[in-house]
Structure 1
Amino acid sequence: MHGASDSHPDIHWPSGFSPDHAHSFCQAQVVVHAPPATAFGLLTDVARWPQWAAGVTESRPGALEGTFRVRFHEQAFEVFLGERAEPHRLGWSVVGAGVQVYQAWLLTEVAGGTHVVSENVVRGPAARALDVRSPQWARRLHALWLAQLKRLSESTAG
């Protein structure tokens, strides 16, 4: 089982969505050779996600400010912005397809760029089943997303 000790100490978790409450938890990190604002801008440009975020085939604004809809692996998800402290913190709640997710992003300026930490807490029967069948799925997906974020951030900054 995952626990809060697995999480970066500077991640802010909403009530009920810490690693202690997860059916699946994942953390991935990368150093991006670009300023935090560059990576933050890519993360918040939701309309561009299908171009670089593996599995995302559609993304569009939701009915309310701070919401958007995403199609991920042919499943529809509602996303609600939970935290936005530009250019260092992002967090959103995701609901749909038998899961509830909170994804947190922490971007810290370091020498030569930005240290990016992404953490996911997933709850629900679909998350439980997937974590049992393929415990590495979330790590692989996050690694791919961070590799793409690094590539795009560095090409944008360059």
Structure 2
Amino acid sequence: MSGASDRHPDIHWPSGFSPDQAHSFCQAQAVVDAPPELAFSLLTDVPRWPEWVPGLTEVRAGPLARSFEVWFHGHRFEMFPGEHVPYARVGWSGVGAGVQLYQAWLLTAVAGGTHVVTENVVRGPAAKSLAVLSPLSAQRLSSLWVTQLERLSGPGRQDDGAQPEC
């Protein structure tokens, strides 16, 4: 399991969400066979998340401008866009189900595609409990996001808007 010492030095954290302040922190990374523009496009196409993000079943526009709501394993989270630097970095914060979270993504062009790093900071009573009951669950979730991103952006990807098979 990753710890705060494993954090990527180029990830930017909003106040109160550094890995050192987390009840749960995890990181996943991979090189995906696609340019940063495609990886960024997939990550920021929020309405399509339920098609490929494991456990996420619904997305709706939120009650506040630019906010959105997601249902993850039956729990509602209100999400707020954070950092947004096209083709390089993106992040969002969320509140719900006894947690506050921030998920950050860093995209770097490399030979053969894009090096993708995602890190998650989660705080709150539910995060504390989950860290005790299932210490690897957050790491598995981050790895699943990256695995799905690799699948969608790799050879044979569906650029025509067709729904991927999940």
Q: Same fold (TM over 0.5)?
A: yes
TM-score normalised by length of structure 2: 0.90
| Moved >3 Å (runs of 4+) | none
Q: Structure 2, unaligned stretches of length 5 or more?
A: 160-166
Deviation at 1:156, TM superposition (A): 4.1
RMSD over aligned CA atoms reads 1.6
Q: Does 1:53 align with 2:20?
A: no
Tell me, what secondary structure is at the counterpart of 1:131? helix
Identity %: 65
Question: How big is each residue's C-alpha offset from its partner over 1:106-131, in whole Å with a ceiling of 9 and x where there is no partner?
Answer: 00000010000000000000000001
Aligned to 2:144: 144
What is the letter of the counterpart of residue 96 of structure 1? G
Aligned residues: 157
- The residue aligned with 1:69 is 69
Q: Which amino acid aligns with 1:135?
A: P
Distance in 2 between residues matched to 1:61 and 1:31, nearest whole Å = 31
Instruction: Please give the secondary structure, in 1, of the residue aligned with 2:39.
Output: helix
Offset at residue 144 of structure 1 (A) = 1.2
Contact (CA 8 Å) 1:57, 1:72: kept in 2 or not?
yes
Q: Structure 1's 156 and 10: CA in aligned 2 closer, same or farther, altered over 3 A?
A: farther
Q: Which sections of structure 1, spanning at least 5 residues, go unmatched?
A: none
Q: Report what 2:118 is aligned to.
A: 118
Residues 78-135 of structure 1 show CA distances to partners (whole Å, capped at 9, x for unaligned) of 0000110001100111000100000000000000100000000000000000011111
**Contact preservation (8 Å) 2:3, 2:26:** no
C-alpha deviation, 1:143, in angstroms: 1.1
